[in-house]
Structure 1
Amino acid sequence: MARPNEEVEALLREYADLVAITGGDAFKARAYEKAARAIGGYPADVAQLDAAGLREIPNVGRSIADKVIEYLRTGKMAVVEERRAKIPAGVRELISIPGLGPKKALRLYEDLHISSVTELAAAIEADRLADLKGFGERTQENIRHGIELLQQAGARVPLSLALDTAEEIVAELSGLTGCRRCTYAGSLRRMRETVGDLDVLVAAQRSERFMAALCELPGTAEVIARGRKKTSIRTGKGLQVDLRVLPPQSWGAGMQYFTGSKAHNIRTRTLAVHQGLKLSEYGLFDAESGQSLASRTEEEVYERLGLAWIPPTLREDRGEIEAALHGELPEVVSEHDVRGDLHTHTDLTDGLAPLEEMVAAAAERGYAYYAVTDHAPNLYMQRMTDEKILAQRERLRELDGTHRRMRLLHGTELNIDPDGGVDWPPEFLAGFDLCVASLHSHFDLGRAAMTRRLVRACENPHVNILGHPTTRLIGRRPGVEADWDTVFETCARTGTALEVNAQPDRLDLRDEDILRAREHGVKFAVNTDAHAVPQLAALRYGVGTAQRGWLTRDDVINTWPLTRLRAFLRKGG
């Protein structure tokens, strides 16, 4: 059910990895990685493009365009099939381990005949890697941790993939005759960063039509079980989808029950028992008489229990029940509240679209203001110069206010050096409207050194936002080690906002860290870090994460009017 762009992106990324594993040209592998990223972020459907149209995509030349056309016509790419045949699938699996690259995977296979994650884990435990060059104690510990991350991820899929799949299924089922209501529930409705099984609910008098439709969807790869009340299928991406059809009068109770979480439901059922009631997916009933007391809406179910309605993103048994009982639930931030994006990129560095296109797309989203924050020069691969950034500033000033009166802010994403310094001298930084500072290298500093590094960056009077603070990549790279309470206290003291990066493979800060930071009085910025026009829509994932961290409009600086935002960006000046 993925877009053709995403399918092609995944295949080209795999080919780049296969080239690297089999000792191919590093430049070639990099070229395919760039092309994959460009296609994945391209706004138009590549399935609708001919070879000439494909070559208009940045980093897509004739050879790559021909391969994409081949895949779109046949469902295969010959060069990928050939490379796959050269190396066992288990070795390809090794590079999915966070921290283990293609070269190390190839060495493990050639020198120790390791061809699976299980074999690698056993080899580390048996100390078989000790004499292998490049696999010292620190590297082995990183690989061990990477295996743990991979195993924890298991069959869970990213939030973005689950949401795309759910919305496609809901759209299909909602159009069927007899459908009163249809939506998704479970951990997806709670906006967890990864999703195991996808729960879809339908309100209808009869279920057969909906069960059959789910089984016959193009994305259905396997029917696990089919029944009158519940049908389970598995998609081509490996995501299990459970469909339940409820009587319309039980819709609210069903939504409450199947949204979860398990811990939250235990608390609500306990409340019901203490009141002589019984709560199930069909309603809230008097335990003695069996009389239905509430079922049609979630609001009435919660109200009958003596609770205010609790937003789904808060239902994790982290104090929401107590807050609802005492009228202290936060009015969590919504996507509609966000007035602008404060971390985005253009093709001046590693973005895919020119400044004008990104600005126009932001204006279409109805933003009141929008910041462009291309990379600074210490990220050498981007080849930023003073002249380039100043020319961009001049062009941005020309565009300011020309799109639906949206105001434009000129910023930059600085690189935090190992000692906590950043690009450009203070007098040059003073010319920016805002500065995001992020870690892009040296992730393995010790806890104390990393803490000092982050604290110094936050104390810089020109740093306004700490971008993707922990640097984690979900399921691929753990966050850096630091004394985060010290970092959070520093952010609060210096007026440095913490970013909630909305890219679905980051969602950094994660919800647990947001809850901790909020206790220190920190302010936050929910940004997309968009490198292409379609990525501006990732805001929804960042907002969901912010909600899970109990953030309100007052906590999030890019929900504020521009005058208040500018005052914050002056950082006490």
Structure 2
Amino acid sequence: MARANEEVEALLQEYADLIAISGGDAFKARAYEKAARAIGGHPADIAKLDAKGLREIPNVGKSIADKVGEYLHTGHVPVIDETRATIPAGVRELIAIPTLGPKKALVLHQELGVSSVDQLLDAIHAERLRDLKGFGEKTEENLLHGISLMQKAGEGRILLSAALDVAEQITGELSAIPGCERCAYAGSLRRMRETIGDIDILVAADDSAPFMEALGSLPQTAETIAHGEKKTSIRTTKGLQVDLRVLPPVSWGAGLQYFTGSKAHNIRTRAIAVRKGLKLSEYGLFHAKSGRRVTSRTEEDIYARLGLPWIPPPLREDRGEIAAGLAGELPDLVAEDDIRGDLHTHTDLTDGLAPLEDMVAAAADRGYAYYAVTDHAPNLYMQRMTDEKMLAQRDRVRALDRTFRGMRLLHGTELNIGPDGDLDWPDEFLAEFDLCVASVHSHFNQSRRDLTRRLIRACENPHVAIIGHPTTRRIGKRPPIDADFDAVFEACAATGTALEINSHPERLDLRDEDILRAREYGVKFAIDSDAHSTTHLPYLRYGVGTAQRGWLTKDDVVNAWPLTRLRRFLRKG
């Protein structure tokens, strides 16, 4: 189940949006946004904090702490309920559309009476938005695309991180039941897809009844959809469907292979079985004529009998993995243990939530050999960075270097790639950083030509080592920018600039499809957490899963290299 931190984060963010929609104080809305982020990233469970403990969280003052305490005790905050009641539900629905902010939602409601997505679609098709100041044909295109994204995101799919949280809790509970020989999640979750429709849980046991009963009585379970001897389906309190199948232990390997999928991958493996006079199902690999079981206990046995090595789940998408396996050319995929350091993180000097010392200590606890602090540069004006602040931080980083189990600290920055491809500081200032990450943070709607040139100019800067979250997408919230990424990939390969795989579960940017294309150009990659809190550092597992789906090895990933090799790369020739 979600932590109280996450529920309160969502509540305060909603209140910030409601304030903005109703034309309230922009500073007040911003204060609630900051408090929401601080609570969401706070390492302690806020449900266990008293009023004093709540006020000690950054950006949480007495008024906000009182509201949080009220919500934790009663489940409601009257002022938020009252504000919510003054705004039509449809208008609140509008701000869920990627590319449509609260101010424009308010204009649409006040000027056109639009209070639902359907009414907005009607207004767009009737070209009524074009008479409004700040709206036009490009706005209409963006809104239509945003509505499409929202509708896709609403098709019962949730982020990989949320699904893993639920799956790991449930498998932990079921694994403790007597008689459980094996328990694991399967499906698209095991393949580390960026969003998940439902969760498949498998158990190997001789008696299915205790597991079926246990699933229905878990605290996460809101209702039982179907209950049977071989399969039980429940819906969680968050609306996610979980399907549990109990297999005979002898069928474990075949069942795990079958229910992991993908469908296209399974069609390939079944075709190979047919050519060998065999039949493959979730119960095992059998002789087609006699029906005698050939093997079924492990996935390795199944693949070996088909003439294949074991294929890692993230590769099972029918994207050439069968042919590579038959040819002995499957990649040795990068693993989380291969990552030697994180190259993109933030502190409370800019928009992070934890001080430098806490972030460094948390990184050391993860066993990193090196760790980079990359706070925002001055052109992201809301962060109020100055040369003096950055240089003072550099002194603190240098003083901390080698004090945590020999972990080396790198002082870097996340630069803002401006509309023309310009960066925040002149070259002579950039040259003093250990590394520079450069990212697009604004002007997402430039032309394809301008966006492409903007990214390539950043690649060409001799001090930019990594392009951060390259497509800028936020899953279900903001589409990727429209740039010619093949040209960008070519430029990265030519200039020795790495592309980031941003591990934040709302980003996972680059996508696996982009990684596969960029890899063909010879691009190198950095898998980073983009952590803004100590609790964000473990996000790295999601980026590694995405990298695996993109067929990457540790040689492809610069922060899987020893520090000496990484430093040579950072110097860009």
State the TM-score, normalized to the length of structure 2.
Answer: 0.98
The separation in 2 between residues aligned to 1:47 and 1:185, in whole angstroms, is 32
Partner of 1:250: 251
In the TM superposition, residue 273 of structure 1 has moved relative to its aligned partner by: 1.2
In the TM superposition, residue 162 of structure 1 has moved relative to its aligned partner by: 0.5
Q: Deviations over 1:477-503 (max 9, x none)?
A: 111111111110110111100000000
Between 321-330 and 122-131, the greater mean CA deviation after superposition: 122-131
Partner of 1:86: 86
The separation in 2 between residues aligned to 1:378 and 1:127, in whole angstroms, is 36
The separation in 2 between residues aligned to 1:379 and 1:168, in whole angstroms, is 39
For the pair 1:362 / 2:363, whether they are aligned, the reply is yes
Partner of 1:209: 210
Partner of 2:54: 54
Partner of 2:162: 161
For the pair 1:35 / 2:22, whether they are aligned, the reply is no
* Structure 1 residue matching 2:7: 3-state secondary structure: helix
Between 129-138 and 296-305, the greater mean CA deviation after superposition: 129-138
In the TM superposition, residue 78 of structure 1 has moved relative to its aligned partner by: 1.8
Query: Following superposition of structure 1 onto structure 2, how do residues 332-481 of structure 1 map, counting pairs within 5 Å?
Result: 332-481=333-482
In the TM superposition, residue 222 of structure 1 has moved relative to its aligned partner by: 2.2
In the TM superposition, residue 419 of structure 1 has moved relative to its aligned partner by: 1.0
Q: Share of identical aligned residues, percent? A: 75
The separation in 1 between residues aligned to 2:35 and 2:410, in whole angstroms, is 30
The separation in 2 between residues aligned to 1:85 and 1:207, in whole angstroms, is 48
Query: Following superposition of structure 1 onto structure 2, how do residues 131-142 of structure 1 map, counting pairs within 5 Å?
Result: 131-142=131-142
Partner of 1:149: 149
The separation in 2 between residues aligned to 1:451 and 1:423, in whole angstroms, is 19
Partner of 1:10: 10
Q: Cα RMSD between the aligned structures?
A: 1.0
The separation in 2 between residues aligned to 1:284 and 1:159, in whole angstroms, is 31
Between 128-137 and 237-246, the greater mean CA deviation after superposition: 128-137
Partner of 2:559: 558
* Structure 2 residue matching 1:437: 3-state secondary structure: strand
The separation in 1 between residues aligned to 2:149 and 2:77, in whole angstroms, is 31
The separation in 2 between residues aligned to 1:564 and 1:434, in whole angstroms, is 14
Report the residue type matching 1:335 in the other structure: E
In the TM superposition, residue 532 of structure 1 has moved relative to its aligned partner by: 0.3
In the TM superposition, residue 77 of structure 1 has moved relative to its aligned partner by: 2.1
Partner of 1:220: 221
* Structure 2 residue matching 1:242: 3-state secondary structure: strand
In the TM superposition, residue 130 of structure 1 has moved relative to its aligned partner by: 3.0
Partner of 2:44: 44
Report the residue type matching 1:356 in the other structure: E
Partner of 2:242: 241
Q: Deviations over 1:37-92 (max 9, x none)?
A: 00000001101100100100000001111111111111222222212212232221
Report the residue type matching 2:332 in the other structure: E
Report the residue type matching 1:278 in the other structure: K
Report the residue type matching 2:65 in the other structure: A
* Structure 2 residue matching 1:503: 3-state secondary structure: coil
Between 160-169 and 119-128, the greater mean CA deviation after superposition: 119-128
In the TM superposition, residue 302 of structure 1 has moved relative to its aligned partner by: 0.6
Partner of 2:328: 327
* Structure 2 residue matching 1:506: 3-state secondary structure: coil
Q: Which runs of 5+ in 2 are unaligned?
A: none
State the TM-score, normalized to the length of structure 1.
Answer: 0.98
- Distance change in 2, residues 1:23/1:400 (3 Å): same
The separation in 1 between residues aligned to 2:13 and 2:280, in whole angstroms, is 48
Q: Which runs of 5+ in 1 are unaligned?
A: none
In the TM superposition, residue 198 of structure 1 has moved relative to its aligned partner by: 0.8
In the TM superposition, residue 263 of structure 1 has moved relative to its aligned partner by: 0.8
Q: Deviations over 1:109-148 (max 9, x none)?
A: 2333322222322322232323233321111110001011
The separation in 1 between residues aligned to 2:388 and 2:86, in whole angstroms, is 47
The separation in 1 between residues aligned to 2:5 and 2:393, in whole angstroms, is 29
The separation in 1 between residues aligned to 2:79 and 2:260, in whole angstroms, is 44
The separation in 2 between residues aligned to 1:523 and 1:483, in whole angstroms, is 18
Report the residue type matching 2:431 in the other structure: A
Report the residue type matching 2:296 in the other structure: S
Partner of 2:117: 117
Q: Deviations over 1:9-55 (max 9, x none)?
A: 11111111111122221111111110000000000110110010010
In the TM superposition, residue 106 of structure 1 has moved relative to its aligned partner by: 2.2
- Which aligned segments of 4 or more residues in structure 1 are displaced greater than 6 angstroms? none
The separation in 2 between residues aligned to 1:460 and 1:510, in whole angstroms, is 24
